[in-house]
Amino acid sequence: MEKNHNRQDTLIIGIHVSLVSGSGLPPAHLERIITRSARWIACTSAALLLVAAPVAVYRLADPERLELDDAARQTAPGRFVRLTDGYTHYELGGSESGRVVVLAAGFSVPYYIWDPTFTALTQAGFRVLRYDYYGRGYSDRPDTNYTQDFYIRQLTELLNALKMTGPLDLVGLSFGGSVVTTFADRYPDRVRSLVYVDPSFRTPGATSPLASLPFAWDFLTAVFDERWWADAQPRDFLHPERFPDWADRYRVQVQYRGFRRARLSELVSNVSVDQREELARVGEHPRPVLVVWGKQDPSVPFEFSVSLLELMPQGRLLAVESSGHLPQLEQPAVVNPALIEFLRQVSQ
């Protein structure tokens, strides 16, 4: 056995000497080359790991896992129409001969935010249209700048596609107040009356430094923030316990790719927009205006109603007790009859 071991050792040593001799390099120099190669392989592997780990974390954390395609649209309620910038998801109901009322939703909640109002108005004989903005709900999420012009183009094209060219009544909730104001300013003859529900308007502001780094913003938002957006929605209510499914309904739209990108574009594209001149011009128009405001609104304080009414002297205020930012949902028995009465008076 000892002889066999000696033969194996001799063979291995012979091979090593042969390799070193055949390379033409001194053994010490060859050892350094091998060591450097091992270090390069180790560093490269570590670098690849550093790149792969964040990618893996991003993919695992990202809630946007589905494409908003034809198959997804077939599962959605309502209807779709193809416009310049993509498909718009909408619902049109009520009497075909009724007066047209358009419901513009808030910043990010889809058109279901109008459920009780849509039902009440259609039952009262109005022709009612509600829709999802681009980047929200089941409407497309085009990779573009989500400017104010972009939203007005969507609404204008939607109305034209549905052949709604005559005067109509515009109802804007929260961010929707900004949209209906710009539309009324640009197309005053197409707007019969305006209704503001806890409205918000664009004024110059600032974005975080991170917003100027879209890749970093996208990564950090996907990993640490977006998954909690739905959980924040019930804060709009004074009594969120009455709407236990509100966050889950919101999560449906978050699963479709492009939702997060649209949010960033909205923030960056409108940072310098100032609607105060628009509001002043719209306020000078003699059309009727109704302002509905939840007294306990945590998002847009009720006290802001004073400055809005100063700009719109023809406006009337409906202050809604026991309501947060969404009085049409928390107090439909108060809001809907007042809204229907206002619209019927406008038609007289």
Instruction: Say if residues 295 and 320 touch (Cβ distance below 8 Å).
Output: yes
Can you read off the two tokens belonging to residue 94? Answer: 């009520």
Closest CA to 249 of 103, 25, 102, 77: 77
pLDDT of 178 higher than 50: yes
Q: Which domain range does residue 151 map to? A: 70-347
Looking at the chain, the whole-number percentage of residues with pLDDT higher than 90 is 79
Residue 2: pLDDT over 50:
no
Domains contained in the chain, number? 2
CA distances from 157 to 76, 90, 91, 153 (A): 21, 13, 15, 6
Q: For residue 296, how far is the Cα from the chain centroid?
A: 25
- Boundary residue ending a domain (10, 44, 61): 61
151 and 274 inside one domain:
yes
Q: How far apart are CA 179 and CA 275, in angstroms?
A: 10
pLDDT confidence of residue 98? 96
What does the pLDDT look like over 222-241, one tens digit per residue?
999 999 999 999 999 999 99
Residue 111 sits in the same domain as residue 191: yes
Task: Note whether 174 and 106 are within 8 A (CB).
Answer: yes
Same domain, 42 and 154: no
Q: Report yes or no: 318 and 293 within 8 Å, Cβ to Cβ.
A: yes
Q: How many CA atoms lie within 13 A of 199 on its CB side?
A: 32
- With 50 as the cut, is the pLDDT of residue 16 above it? no
Q: Which amino acid is at 240?
A: P
Q: To the nearest whole number, what is the mean pLDDT of the chain?
A: 90
Asked if 91 and 53 sit in the same domain, the reply is no
Angle between helices 27-61 and 2-23 (to 10 degrees): 90
Question: 130 with 266, same domain?
Answer: yes
Over residues 114-129, mean pLDDT: 98
Do 107 and 56 share a structural domain?
Answer: no
pLDDT, residue 207, reads 87
Is 52's pLDDT higher than 60?
yes
> Which residues does residue 132 pair with via DSSP β-bridges, in sequence order?
none
Instruction: Give per-residue pLDDT as tens, 265-319.
Output: 999 999 999 999 999 999 999 999 999 999 999 999 999 999 999 999 999 999 9
> Residue 45: what pLDDT?
60
